Structure 1
């Protein structure tokens, strides 16, 4: 717990510190000026937090729902191994290079510099990732459960909604959590495809660091790590569930 809390403590000190230079162990003075920016009516940090939550949440929902269906199609395909291997292709390139390659298509779709273009670019990475995570669910056992439900009188929709979805929910929850984190912490794809117009928290952190604005960079970093920490707390029962 101490190791887990150290980064948060350091970011808190950086957000409050004034004139803190090496080799001083602690800040000589403290100020709430950086934190007061969160209360401003036109707070760019709160706007960035809202953009990040909207983009990451949208990507996570679309990638998880789409990955569930794509994983089912891959599992039932005669070329399932080839499709599964193709799912790793987006990770063969750095995010910035991948964004540069797909940017001409984003421009043709008139989505350059928009949230829709960023979501589409992030789905190119998040959807294959969700497919790989959910591929393990669509085993022979899942197919047998579905066939049993149909034999007992369920329609295809009932078998999907009342049998398959409850069985897959723990894995779907994990996939939702992982794809949210993937989109939440992304910088390369977002920065290139948005051409600086969609300022998420990650983009703001790098911007403040480049400006040597340590206090605002620390506040933005605290906002950046807070939602994943809350999600980890909500998801802890699934991650640390004891057998039996």
Structure 2
């Protein structure tokens, strides 16, 4: 009985914000002190079907950026973690991987912005992508560093001794062993890029309107319906990733 009550309270606690967002999205003329909107409308959701809808464009832009950063950072982190583990200065290189997190994202963006301008990438998707990689790549490197232990090296040497080529050892031995960590790195770097606001807002100079930037814009404009819809779209991919990752973790071998 207590467990059911606790589960109900937790569902209620975590569900209330989403319920409020749903009411803000469909409610019209909702003013204090009214407890509920006087009129309900689906006009905001119908506008999502328009070809030139800004929210859908921001959703696609955010998915492209976060997906590209996740794949590139995970692949690069896998290679860099191996190089660091085999280096004589592994401790120093690992410590250097923490440097991007010594500064707030906004300050980091201000520091690298002159280099982005020199590369003629200011205000472009490429500039934002490069800035996000500077944060996500060290994170993936640190996350995957524990995989390259002495036991992993022994597995690789054993595969090579049994006749595997370096490519076969990577594809048939190392990648299957590393897949749980690679999957975690993909999800974490995706979320890191997906929810970024400060770095993206500075480097894009208002030209690359990701979904996170649009949420803050609508909130600043006091446009509650669009802010609510943008917020619901913002939490949708992470929720899907959470469900997929949960099913993978709970799956019996």
What number of residue pairs does the alignment pair up?
243
Displaced runs of 4+ in structure 1, greater than 6 A?
none
1:160 to 154, 170, 184: 170
- Partner of residue 227, structure 2: 217
CA displacement at 1:79 relative to structure 2? 1.2
CA displacement at 1:30 relative to structure 2? 1.3
Q: Is the 8 A contact 1:52 1:200 kept in 2?
A: yes
Q: Is the 8 A contact 1:170 1:238 kept in 2?
A: no
CA displacement at 1:85 relative to structure 2? 1.1
- Partner of residue 227, structure 1: 237
RMSD: 1.4
- Partner of residue 119, structure 1: 129
CA displacement at 1:241 relative to structure 2? 5.9
Q: TM-score, normalised by structure 1?
A: 0.96
- Does the alignment pair 1:36 with 2:46? yes
CA displacement at 1:141 relative to structure 2? 0.6
SS in 2 for 1:235: helix
Comparing 208-217 and 15-24, the one that deviates more: 15-24
Per-residue CA deviation, residues 92-147 of structure 1 (Å, 9 max, x unaligned), is 11111100000000001111111010000000100000001000100011000000
Q: Distance in 1 between matches of 2:190 and 2:22?
A: 24
Q: Distance in 1 between matches of 2:48 and 2:22?
A: 14
SS in 2 for 1:61: helix
Comparing 77-86 and 93-102, the one that deviates more: 77-86
CA displacement at 1:18 relative to structure 2? 1.6
The 5 A counterparts of 1:50-199 are 50-199=60-209
CA displacement at 1:40 relative to structure 2? 1.4
The 5 A counterparts of 1:17-32 are 17-32=27-42
Structure 1 unpaired stretches of 5+ = none
Comparing 18-27 and 59-68, the one that deviates more: 18-27
Comparing 109-118 and 29-38, the one that deviates more: 29-38
Q: Is the 8 A contact 1:63 1:123 kept in 2?
A: yes
Structure 2 unpaired stretches of 5+ = 1-10
2:14 to 4, 7, 16: 4
Q: TM-score, normalised by structure 2?
A: 0.93
CA displacement at 1:240 relative to structure 2? 4.6
CA displacement at 1:84 relative to structure 2? 1.0
SS in 2 for 1:23: coil
Q: Distance in 1 between matches of 2:154 and 2:173?
A: 11
